[in-house]
């Protein structure tokens, strides 16, 4: 009787668990992206094994040549990936064996998949830092083009999304150039810190073979070998730093995307997206939707998600390698892909959009945007304490509101009913151009400041 029972669940387990085990265990579905890095790492390792006399020059030559063949098979789509071989490392090695025979078996001397995957992934993330930097520089240039064209175009500056003070279009564009510059420096900083080689840490403890870790580090463009083998195989800080920098960059992109969505609305009309970056509606013929901006705003969630996911994978992991760490790759790939896509789309949109100078100016001239200029005039010219000037200005705003006009539309007589000493030259500061021209403090919105900043960026970005 027990035999029957055994057969029953033995039958279920013999086939079922194997297939599911393979499904949960295999990473080849996504880590095949690491093929170029895996092969670069293996070639460096083989060179070093021969240089140190651990394998013969003949074997190393066969291995390295075979690896080139494997890579070209992968790159041309002539490679049969196998889930039974789990991951990119074993897929490559197994094919190498088919191509070069016995020497292939010597490649894994003094190495483990643990240091191998750490090298591959580091090299991949390092490349992404460089790609992000180049993409951000492109976006900065597109923004700079806008800033140079509209250094003196007046627009409303907002706080709380309420009209605050007039600013210039160029100033607003350069604000993003600054943000993206900090993003670039975060990627550069992360890159510098990640640029150390785990290769030679082997499984976790190092190796008894006389390897030369300086040599492989140099060959792969790393600054130096990592100094603790336990740390080398279990560190994923480099990917986390990349994801953290990506998240902050993505946050900047989403803020900008949100502004473009608002600015391209019929209520604002600050910008017109080019046809290339707009979509229509199948039912409402008047629509011109800023879909790319909306998608950038939304895609950011996946990037934040990848950051949180990997932090969560890593938290609580005992030293050294655990299979949990295989879950570091898929989301990092997705985050990097979507960051690059968002950067490219934002760059295209910014380069091709047209600011509506008239709408910007009109909006800047409404909403009592020069109220602060008026208060400052009362302080400067009449010697009022700022608090009193604020109060007087408040009364004048209320008066204008009552008359349904803006501050420059009040007459001098109107104004003098609130404060008798107000003179006609007050009108000089109520115009939006005068307002921005006067903001000459360092980093201020005056066109002269904006032009100087733009010139600085032009030189830096060229």
**Is there a catalytic annotation at residue 45?**
no
Cα–Cα distance list, 456 to 338, 443, 450 (Å): 31, 13, 10
Give yes or no: 281 in active site: yes
Between 232 and 325, name the residue whose CB sits nearer to ligand ARG.
325
Q: Is residue 313 close enough to count as binding ligand ARG by CB under 6 A? A: no
Q: Which is nearer to ligand ARG, 164 or 203 (CB)?
A: 203
Q: Give the one residue of 325, 345, 363, 429 binding ligand ARG; rule: CB under 6 A.
A: 325
CA distance 226 to 217: 9
Contacts of 329 (CB under 8 A, 6+ apart): 27, 30, 31, 33, 34, 121
Contacts with ligand ARG in 59-118 (CB under 6 A)? 87, 113-114, 117
Strands 354-355 and 271-272: antiparallel
Tell me how far the alpha carbon of residue 454 is from its chain's centroid: 23
Whose Cβ is closer to ligand ARG: residue 42's or residue 140's? 42
Q: Among the candidate windows 177-185, 261-269, 319-327, 372-380, which touches ligand ARG by CB under 6 A?
A: 319-327
Site for ligand ARG in 359-398 (CB under 6 A): none
Please identify, using beta-carbon distances, which residue of 121 and 368 lies nearer to ligand ARG. 121
- Tell me if 229 contacts ligand ARG by CB under 6 A: no
3-state secondary structure of 226: coil
Tell me the closest approach of the beta carbon of residue 89 to ligand ARG, in angstroms.
Answer: 6
The number of helix segments (H) and strand segments (E) in the chain equals 19, 6
* Closest CB to ligand ARG among residues 326, 370: 326
Calpha distance 252→111 (Å, rounded): 41
Q: Which residue, 163 or 320, is less far from ligand ARG as judged by CB?
A: 320
Shortest distance in whole angstroms from residue 317 CB to ligand ARG: 12
Minimum Å distance from CB 113 to ligand ARG?
A: 4
Pick the piece of the chain touching ligand ARG (CB under 6 A) from 5-13, 215-223, 321-329, 399-407.
Answer: 321-329
Cα separations in angstroms, 215 against 61, 84, 95, 199, 395: 17, 33, 26, 10, 76
Q: Supply φ then ψ for residue 222, to 5 degrees.
A: -85, 155
Number of residues forming the site for ligand ARG (CB under 6 A): 10
Q: Does 183 bind ligand ARG (CB under 6 A)?
A: no
Kindly tell me the burial class for residue 153, based on how many C-beta atoms sit within 10 Å of its own C-beta (0-12, 13-18, 19 or more). buried
By CB under 6 A, the residues from 18 to 47 that bind ligand ARG are: 27, 31
Contact indicator for 429, 435 with CB cutoff of 8 Å? yes
Report yes or no: 277 and 348 within 8 Å, Cβ to Cβ: yes
Compute the least distance from the CB of residue 239 to ligand ARG, in Å. Answer: 12
From 7-15, 45-53, 134-142, 317-325, span contacting ligand ARG (CB under 6 A): 317-325
| Contact call for residue 247 and ligand ARG (CB under 6 A) | no
Is 321 a binding residue for ligand ARG by CB under 6 A? The answer is: yes
Task: Report the distance separating Cα 418 and Cα 407, nearest Å.
Answer: 13
Residue 217 in contact with residue 196, Cβ under 8 Å? yes
Under the criterion CB under 6 A, does residue 120 sit at the interface with ligand ARG?
no
Q: What would the DSSP string read from start to end of 433-444?
A: HHHHHH--STT-
Residue 168 as a binder of ligand ARG (CB under 6 A): the answer is no
Q: Which element (helix H / strand E) includes 157?
A: strand 154-159
Q: What is the 8-class DSSP label of residue 317?
A: P
Q: Give the shortest CB-111-to-ligand ARG separation in angstroms.
A: 12
Q: Which of the following is catalytic: 72, 265, 274, 281?
A: 281
For residue 140, which of 150, 151, 130, 148 has the smallest C-alpha distance?
148
Nearer to ligand ARG, 238 or 321 (CB): 321
**Which one of the listed residues 160, 208, 282, 441 is annotated catalytic?**
160
Which positions touch ligand ARG (CB under 6 A)? 27, 31, 87, 113-114, 117, 321, 323, 325-326
Residues designated as active site: 160, 281
């Amino acid at each position: 009787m027990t035999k029957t029972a055994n057969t029953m669940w033995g039958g279920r387990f013999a086939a079922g668990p194997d297939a599911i085990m393979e499904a949960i265990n295999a990473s080849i579905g996504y880590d095949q992206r690491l093929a170029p890095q895996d092969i670069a790492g293996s070639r460096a390792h083989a060179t070093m094994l021969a240089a140190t006399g651990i394998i013969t020059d003949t074997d190393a030559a066969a291995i390295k040549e075979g690896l080139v063949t494997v890579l070209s098979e992968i790159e041309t789509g002539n490679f049969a990936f196998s889930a039974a071989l789990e991951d990119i490392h074993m897929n490559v090695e197994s094919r190498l064996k088919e191509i070069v025979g016995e020497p292939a078996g010597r490649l894994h001397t003094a190495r483990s998949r643990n240091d191998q995957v750490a090298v591959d992934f580091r090299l991949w993330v390092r490349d992404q830092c460089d790609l992000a930097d180049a993409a951000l520089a492109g976006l900065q240039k597109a923004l700079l083009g806008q800033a140079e064209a509209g250094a003196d175009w007046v627009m409303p500056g907002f706080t709380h999304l309420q009209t605050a003070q007039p600013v210039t279009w160029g100033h607003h564009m350069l604000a993003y150039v600054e943000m993206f510059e900090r993003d670039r420096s975060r990627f550069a900083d992360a890159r510098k810190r990640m640029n150390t080689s785990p290769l030679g840490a082997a499984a976790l403890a190092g190796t008894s073979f006389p390897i030369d870790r300086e040599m492989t580090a140099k060959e792969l463009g790393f600054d130096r070998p990592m100094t603790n083998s336990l740390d080398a195989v279990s560190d994923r800080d480099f990917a986390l730093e990349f994801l953290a920098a990506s998240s902050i960059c993505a946050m900047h992109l989403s803020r900008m995307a949100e502004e473009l969505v608002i600015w391209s609305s019929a209520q604002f009309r600050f910008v017109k997206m080019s046809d290339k970056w707009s979509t229509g509606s199948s039912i409402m013929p008047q629509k011109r939707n800023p879909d790319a901006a909306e998608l950038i705003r939304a895609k950011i969630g996946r990037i934040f998600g990848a950051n949180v996911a990997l932090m969560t994978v890593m938290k609580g992991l005992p030293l050294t390698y655990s299979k949990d760490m295989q879950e570091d790759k898929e989301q990092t790939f997705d985050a990097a892909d979507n960051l690059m896509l968002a950067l490219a789309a934002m760059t295209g949109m910014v380069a091709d959009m047209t600011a509506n100078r008239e709408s910007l100016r009109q909006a800047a001239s409404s909403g009592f945007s020069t109220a602060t200029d008026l208060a400052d005039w009362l302080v400067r010219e009449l010697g009022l304490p700022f608090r009193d000037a604020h109060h007087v200005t408040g009364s004048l705003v209320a008066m204008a509101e009552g008359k349904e006009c803006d501050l420059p539309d009040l007459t001098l007589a109107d104004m003098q009913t609130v404060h008798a000493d107000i003179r006609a030259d007050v009108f000089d500061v109520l115009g939006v151009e005068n307002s921005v021209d006067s903001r000459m403090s360092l980093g201020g919105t005056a066109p002269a400041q904006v032009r100087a900043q733009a010139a600085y960026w032009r030189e830096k970005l060229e």
